[in-house]
Structure 1
Amino acid sequence: MEQLNPSDLKAILHSKRANLYYLEYCRVMQKDGRVLYLTEEKNQNQYWNIPIANTTVILLGTGTSITNAAMRMLCSAGVLVGFCGGGGTPLFSGAEIEWLTPQSEYRPTEYVQGWLSFWFDEAKRLEVAKAFQLARLDYIQQVWAKDRDLRTEGFHLDDQDIQNALQSYRNKIPRMTKVADLLLAEAQTTKQLYKIAATRCQMSFERNPEQGDLANDFLNHGNYLAYGLAATTLWVLGIPHGFAVMHGKTRRGALVFDVADLVKDAVVLPYAFLCAKEGMKEQEFRQQILQKFTEHKCLDFMFDQVKAQSLNTFSNEVHD
């Protein structure tokens, strides 16, 4: 097999990469210059190739192991690795919050410098939090307007309940003077969106990550996939996870949650309910979410939003 040089693995920008893997009951290794995972069947073992140059994140679930050589190649290609429980949750690796991040000294500095230029000013931090929330609402409208599957299932932007939920939150955002108030309004809006999705899928629902029903399990799973994309975005741009604008006075990795929130309600939330309604298996749901992440260019959107706020020049006067 042809040997690959590390320099050959960086041709695809992270924002354009299509693959995010969750693996379980397998061994990840390097063989002939490629990263593979080995599954042990009853009568035979099978090797499967991982196209690392087009991969953003690998989640290693129950019953997995990884070799030193494989980690070296994943790092050279800029792939983040996370150890997690069954079904993609929870994350529990101990380096860089939840992720084993490649140790590259050649990432851009302009974004972290731009981020830190406003971060220590509470008022400017609040402005960025508001900008993220407005972008989040814009993205919901963008995705729900053009996603045929959602429209088929009754997610129409001009429906009164959807309009009320989105417009009410949009009107509140400029008036917020504290992050705590913004968090409360955001939680209320997400609760409304849960109700909207449950109504269209004719389900009774209460959000409880420990509940164990399909909708809650799929929300957990999809959210963690979004966290993988967010962690990749921040690592590529060189911004530490601890400099959050909304979440986390006590959570060191809270900026991952802030960035993941940009796409969760637009993609993960409705499809968690739709896939639960169809009684899909976990793997089928994961494939559906990853397909929608690619279709709606979620990673591109995260990069655009974080870069825009990093390079935003604040005036001396912060607007109410």
Structure 2
Amino acid sequence: MEQLSDLKAILHSKRANIYYLEKCRVMQKDGRVLYLTEAKDQNYYWNIPIANTTVIMLGTGTSITQAAMRMLASAGVLVGFCGGGGSPLFSGSEIEWLTPQSEYRPTDYVQGWLSFWFDENKRLAVAQTFQQARIAYLQRVWEKDRDLKAENFFADDKDISTALDGYAQQIPATQKVGELLLKEAALTKQLYRYAAKTTKLGNFVREREATDLANGFLNHGNYLAYGLAATTLWVLGIPHGFAVMHGKTRRGALVFDVADLIKDAIVLPWAFISAKEKATEQEFRQQLLQKFTEHKALDFMFEQVKQQALREDLP
């Protein structure tokens, strides 16, 4: 049995696994966390390497025991209940994670975050920095990812470079967070249009309740990104309600802000590519998790949030 002190030996930013489970029971057995699937003649147990796991999403037909939750909390794993395929999270409109409780997380990041958060101009400056980082990350990922290039996604494509450069020039001129949100929404529409054209899904319209593959994969991928963002904020001890861009009245709004750092770069193109290839949810999820790891998405989230929390040059 692993000692509880060993369960957090792997930094969250370096952990390899996100699990989505359905039609199974999660339990603790012999000092391990397992999930049990029931076959016609036999039950099968599968081990979850909790020390190397960031998030577990429990879909339809799942249950979890108290003992399993105790071990997951000891390893700092976030647990969320969700609908089939990973979305929506249990309450639909909120970010609902069962977060481990710890009094030993660092305090410097939450104190740094709160030192600027109550000043509207400083919140705007951090939101603008996040948006610039988001653009730079997309350009970096699309420039180096051979698989994306093979699917005709190019960062230096005229439509993409014009959209990104135009947005980057508009960001510093925004005077209010609401204005920045409008500019961001316009960029996202341009990216959807480019992805739909590239994958020959020309009739695509973004609707969260739609049943087509592209919309379903976008929902699914976004919730995986929310899991990474929620993990980042929990580890750094920053409450999810202290958003810099999304609505201040939404309890999980900062999760959306942080997830936006990587969604356009990774989730968006692969949702469309997987829809074009008529992939299964499992195939899409495996592809996405591979790309999160390949492009160090969790590392990037940690880096950006830590930099802004400890930033000293805010206006």
- TM bracket (short chain): over 0.9
Alignment equivalent of 2:10, drawn from 8, 12, 28 = 12
For 2:148 and 2:96, the matched residues in 1 are separated by 32
Residue matched to 2:226: 227
Answer yes or no: is 1:282 the counterpart of 2:281: yes
TM-score (norm 1): 0.96
Alignment equivalent of 1:119, drawn from 117, 120, 132 = 117
Residue matched to 2:192: 194
For 1:77 and 1:158, the matched residues in 2 are separated by 42
Alignment of 1:151-162 (within 5 A): 151-162=149-160
Residue matched to 1:304: 303
For 1:113 and 1:292, the matched residues in 2 are separated by 33
Structure 2: runs of 5+ lacking an equivalent = none
Alignment equivalent of 2:147, drawn from 146, 149, 155 = 149
For 2:36 and 2:82, the matched residues in 1 are separated by 18
Alignment of 1:231-242 (within 5 A): 231-242=230-241
For 2:155 and 2:49, the matched residues in 1 are separated by 38
CA contact (8 A) 1:93 1:99 kept: no
Residue matched to 1:86: 84
Structure 1: runs of 5+ lacking an equivalent = none
Residue matched to 1:108: 106
CA contact (8 A) 2:27 2:33 kept: yes
Residue matched to 2:263: 264
CA contact (8 A) 1:82 1:93 kept: no
> 1:61-89 deviations in whole A, cap 9, x for unaligned?
00000001000000000000000111111
For 1:62 and 1:202, the matched residues in 2 are separated by 32
Q: Alignment partner of 2:186: what SS?
A: helix
Give the alignment's Cα RMSD to 1 decimal. 1.1
- AA aligned to 1:314 is D
For 2:4 and 2:68, the matched residues in 1 are separated by 12
Counting matched residue pairs gives 313
- AA aligned to 1:88 is G
Q: Alignment partner of 1:10: what SS?
A: coil
CA contact (8 A) 1:93 1:100 kept: no
- AA aligned to 2:113 is W
Alignment of 1:35-114 (within 5 A): 35-92=33-90, 97-114=95-112
CA contact (8 A) 2:33 2:68 kept: yes
CA contact (8 A) 1:88 1:221 kept: yes
Shift of 1:13: 0.2
CA contact (8 A) 2:241 2:248 kept: no
Shift of 1:11: 1.0
> 1:243-302 deviations in whole A, cap 9, x for unaligned?
000001321110000000000000000000000000001111011101100000000000
Shift of 1:93: 5.9
- AA aligned to 1:135 is A
CA contact (8 A) 2:80 2:89 kept: yes
For 1:93 and 1:108, the matched residues in 2 are separated by 29
CA contact (8 A) 2:266 2:292 kept: yes
For 1:4 and 1:267, the matched residues in 2 are separated by 34
Residue matched to 1:32: 30
Moved segments of 4+, more than 2 Å: none
> 1:6-59 deviations in whole A, cap 9, x for unaligned?
111111000000100000000000011000000011121100000000000000
CA contact (8 A) 1:29 1:37 kept: yes
CA contact (8 A) 1:58 1:79 kept: yes
Residue matched to 1:179: 177
For 1:263 and 1:144, the matched residues in 2 are separated by 12
Residue matched to 2:167: 169
Q: Alignment partner of 2:240: what SS?
A: coil
- AA aligned to 1:101 is T
For 2:222 and 2:149, the matched residues in 1 are separated by 22
TM-score (norm 2): 0.98
CA contact (8 A) 2:82 2:90 kept: yes
